[in-house]
Structures are given as C-alpha cells and as structure tokens.
Amino acid sequence: RSVLKDWRKVKKLKQTGESFLQDDSCYEIGPNLQKCRECRLIRSKKSEESAHSPVFCRFYYFRRLSFSKNGVVRIDGFSSPDQYDDEAMNLWTHESYEDDEMDLETCKYILEHIGDKFCQLVTSEKTAMSWVKKDAKIAWKR
C-alpha cells in the first residue's frame, strides 16, 4: 500500500518535510508530478489505464518525493547508497536465506553456467565506474 494512501503517514510527512521513496507509479501519484517515459505512454493511451502496473514505472522505488510547505507532493531527487532501510538490505545480505549450505556440485554447476557472465558483469561495472567523476552523485534503485 502506497505511503500516500495512508493519511497518518501523509500527515507526518507533511509536518516533517521528510523525503520518502516513490512507492507507486508517477501516473497514480498526481497530475503535476513529472512523469517517467512509461507513465507518459500510459497517459496517452487512456483505454489501458486499468492494466497499468506500478512496477513498470521507471521511478518506482527509485525517485524520492517530499511535501512542500504548501502540502504539495514534489520531486526530491533520487536514492543515494546511504539511504536504505532494513527491508532493502535484507535483499542483499546473507542472513535472509534460510538454507546456509549448498553442496559442492551445485556450486560448481552454477559457476560453470554463469561464471563467465559474472566476470563480464564485474568488468563492465569497473569500466563504467572509471567514467564517473569523483564528485558525482551515485543513485541506486531498490
């Protein structure tokens, strides 16, 4: 359920001015908010409104929003690596898995099939990071 559909949370966010993650499609949030490419396409195809899912929104769990002093939802940038919650961290940490052990054969099988692709991914990430300026702001999508 979206933060914006819980009046208690909305009241608190309006009082504090604290930013929050966009947890619905920008198409659903409001008419005055800049839309992503996907939500603009949906708006131009009015007949498909009911089939639209927030998961296809490019800003879903990526863009940060806040309330202005007038109580209007506004864009407040994007998530940075230091803005995370326990739920987001659990997706990446070992503690979230119930079965800690994997047999050697399964490990070998996985490495055999994805090892080269993983190495290519790491190499391409290193190359991409070399293009980033030292003072550039890095954003991440949950």
Question: Tokens representing 106?
Answer: 């399964």
Q: Which residue has the higher pLDDT, 96 or 136?
A: 136
**Contact predicate 42/49, CB 8 Å:** yes
Q: Which residue has the higher pLDDT, 90 or 76?
A: 76
Q: Does 75 score more than 90 pLDDT?
A: yes
Tens of pLDDT, residue by residue over 88-110, are 777 777 665 666 678 899 999 99
Name the DSSP letter for residue 105: H
Q: How long is the chain? A: 142
Question: Tokens representing 132?
Answer: 């980033």
Where does residue 82 rank: exposed (0-12), middle (13-18), buried (19+ CB within 10 A)? exposed
Tens of pLDDT, residue by residue over 47-70, are 555 455 666 889 988 899 999 999
Average the pLDDT over 131-140 and give the result.
83
User: E strands along 57-99, which residues?
Assistant: 63-67, 73-78
pTM of the complete model beyond 0.75: no
**Contact predicate 34/26, CB 8 Å:** yes
Give whole-number Cα distances, 23 to 3, 53, 60, 65, in Å: 7, 12, 6, 10
* CA-wise closest residue to 27 among 2, 49, 4, 1: 49
Phi first, then psi, for residue 21 (nearest 5°) are -75, 140
